[in-house]
């Protein structure tokens, strides 16, 4: 099938490469000229395991093209997949500017039947609204279909997740449109859930809200365990053995970040409030996450007495390992709090680039700890699991190690003469 994908970000680029690999003819369009120039040059603008290989092989096979020409992307493809950003506004609701822009362009340049697939995460009611706008702008309702087909990939494992999704959700008004989208993914083995447009939008929001709830739940339990001197890792193990609870998304720590959970939770809160429904659980989930960094800050403060003038090294800046994405990173939230308290910050991340005037970024993890009073592990990259602790201890001025992700063995760290600290760790 001929597909025009609008947006070459984490979702658009991955989806383009995967659809091309499944045998479709894909043109990935982005108005960011720099991004498209890189892609045309065989370079990948984001860090995502396996994506470069997939892009290169499908480009060579002639199934994957890149362009900045949105109009041709619309005119030349019967299937248009929207994967533009839907960032948060200051009040927590969703900024639909990029979606509106593309819908207007579709209205102006759709000269034959179009199946418009919304992959971007959008608030309930948005796809119905797209149908309405297209009709108001003069498109015959029979000349287009709008399908909500939300994306569930995780950054860091985006390619794998796209080939092996837990489910494919398709929201449509007409059976034919739903079947067409099903056929795009014919080669992928996954349960298909068919619903209407708003149902699909809400499955996406409910999924992210539930996962965020699990994380805030375990972080609240960690706060309680910390007060009683219990180890959260034991509680996690005990919970996970019950299949009704499950073992995923119960890693206590600094809390959730990224471009999705914080934004989508706020968007759902906003959508619910607009309809007069008080989302009290979601508000609590968000509140726990927003205050989680304070617990780690207090741990540092209680050990170092005064954070002012202290040199603190932070390992990990990305919102999670496996990505260069810094959006809503909890590590950055903690760094900003430390700066506010007068600490000087040194950062090392194997991939993410934190370019800020008030932070010293290092290319080498050992250089980053030289003369530091404390070392903070904020993102659990593999290379932080068992560094040369001897070297770390010798290079540091102080002895404090704060593990914000419960990632390393406290006994090992202590055996090198360092002080191990965490929330609810023994
Ligand atoms: N990042 C994820 O892990 C993830 C997972 C599932 C769903 N989502 C959702 O998918 C959507 C995209 O997320 P992302 O992380 O890929 O965003 P992104 O910011 O990485 O990429 C969006 C791209 O769209 C381009 N764009 C915007 N308007 C355009 C237009 N009119 N024409 C051409 N290009 C245009 C931008 O230049 C940008 O490159 C969001 O709604 C997000 O919530 C993201
Ligand atoms: O047990 C856990 C699991 C995750 N996290 C944190 O939660 C955040 C999000 O992690 P993850 O879900 O792995 O990454 P995302 O790439 O943001 O993916 C989420 O958001 C995407 C965008 O909507 C969805 O498509 C995915 O299904 C959903 O997992 C990160 O900061 C993690 O550190 C925890 O603190 N504890």
Atom of ligand 1 nearest to the CA of 7: 24
d(CA 9, ligand 1 centre) in Å: 5
In the set 131, 225, 260, 404, the catalytic residue is: 260
As given in the structure block, the two tokens for residue 33 are: 């000229």
What pLDDT score was predicted for residue 426?
84
314 in helix, strand or coil? Answer: strand
Asked whether 249 lines ligand 2 (CB < 6 A), one says: yes
Which residue numbers in the chain have pLDDT < 50? none
What pLDDT score was predicted for residue 54?
98
**Cβ burial, residue 195 (10 Å; 0-12/13-18/19+):** middle
Asked whether 98 lines ligand 1 (CB < 6 A), one says: yes
Query: Strands across the sheet with 311-315, in order?
Result: 359-362, 344-348, 311-315, 374-377, 400-403, 419-421
As given in the structure block, the two tokens for residue 190 are: 């996954």
Q: Is position 27 annotated in a ligand binding site?
A: no
Degrees, nearest 5: CA angle 47-351-152 = 40
Q: Whose CA is nearest to atom 28 of ligand 2?
A: 154
Residue among 122, 23, 16, 9 nearest 73 (CA) = 16
As given in the structure block, the two tokens for residue 22 are: 């499944």
**Which domains can be identified in the chain, with CATH numbers?**
2-195 (3.40.50.720), 196-426 (3.40.50.720)
Instruction: Read off the pLDDT of residues 250-300 as tens digits, 9 standing for 90 and up.
Output: 999 999 999 999 999 999 999 999 999 999 999 999 999 999 999 999 999
Asked whether 72 lines ligand 1 (CB < 6 A), one says: no
Degrees, nearest 5: CA angle 262-191-242 = 65
Is residue 260 annotated as part of the catalytic site, yes or no?
yes
Q: 177: how many CB neighbours lie within 10 A of its CB?
A: 19
Asked whether 215 lines ligand 2 (CB < 6 A), one says: yes
Ligand 1 pocket: which of 30, 87, 105 to mutate (most atoms within 8 A of CB): 30
Q: Interface pTM (ipTM) of the complex? A: 0.98
Q: 146: how many CB neighbours lie within 10 A of its CB?
A: 27
φ/ψ of residue 327, rounded to 5: -60, 130
d(CA 13, ligand 1 centre) in Å: 9
Q: Whose CA is nearest to atom 41 of ligand 1?
A: 120
pTM for this model (two decimals)? 0.97
Q: Is position 309 annotated in a ligand binding site?
A: no
- Concatenate the DSSP letters of all residues of 18-81 into one string: HHHHTT-EEEEE-S-HHHHHHHHTT--SS--TTHHHHHHHHHHTTSEEEES-HHHHHHT-SEEE
């Amino acid at each position: 099938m001929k597909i025009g994908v609008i947006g070459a970000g984490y979702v658009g680029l991955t989806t383009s490469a995967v659809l091309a690999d499944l045998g479709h003819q894909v043109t990935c369009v982005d108005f960011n000229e720099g991004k498209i120039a890189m892609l045309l040059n065989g370079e990948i603008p984001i860090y995502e395991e396996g994506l470069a290989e997939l892009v290169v092989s499908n480009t060579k096979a002639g199934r994957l093209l890149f362009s900045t020409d949105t109009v041709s992307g619309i005119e030349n493809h019967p299937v248009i997949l929207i994967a533009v950003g839907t960032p948060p506004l200051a009040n927590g609701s969703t900024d639909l500017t990029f979606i509106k822009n593309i819908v207007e362009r579709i209205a102006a340049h759709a000269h034959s039947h179009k199946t418009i697939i919304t992959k971007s995460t959008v608030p309930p009611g948005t796809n119905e609204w797209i149908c309405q706008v297209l009709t108001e702008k003069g498109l015959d309702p029979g000349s287009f279909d709008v399908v909500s087909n939300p994306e569930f990939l995780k950054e860091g494992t985006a390619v794998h997740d796209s080939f092996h999704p837990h489910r494919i959700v398709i929201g449509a008004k007409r059976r034919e449109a739903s079947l067409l989208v099903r056929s795009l993914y014919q080669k992928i083995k996954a349960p298909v859930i068919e619903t209407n447009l708003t149902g699909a939008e809400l499955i996406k929001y409910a999924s992210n809200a539930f996962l965020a709830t699990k994380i805030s739940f375990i972080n609240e339990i960690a706060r309680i365990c910390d007060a009683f001197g219990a180890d959260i890792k034991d509680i996690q193990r005990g919970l996970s053995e019950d299949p009704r609870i499950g073992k995923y998304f119960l890693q206590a720590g600094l809390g959730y970040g990224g471009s999705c959970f914080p934004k989508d939770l706020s968007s759902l809160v906003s959508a619910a409030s607009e309809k007069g429904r008080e989302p009290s659980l979601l508000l609590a989930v968000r509140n726990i996450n927003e205050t989680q960094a304070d617990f780690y800050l207090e741990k540092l403060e209680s050990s170092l007495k005064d954070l002012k003038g202290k040199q603190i090294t932070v390992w990990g800046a990305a919102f999670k390992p496996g990505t260069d994405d810094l959006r809503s990173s909890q590590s950055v939230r903690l760094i900003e709090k430390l700066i506010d308290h007068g600490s000087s910050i040194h950062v090392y991340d194997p991939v993410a680039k934190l370019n800020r005037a008030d932070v010293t970024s290092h290319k080498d993890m050992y250089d980053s700890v030289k003369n530091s009073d404390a070392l903070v592990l904020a993102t659990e990259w593999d290379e932080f699991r068992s560094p040369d602790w001897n070297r770390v201890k010798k290079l540091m001025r102080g002895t404090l190690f704060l593990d914000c992700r419960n990632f390393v063995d406290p006994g090992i760290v202590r055996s090198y003469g360092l002080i191990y600290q965490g929330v609810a760790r023994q």
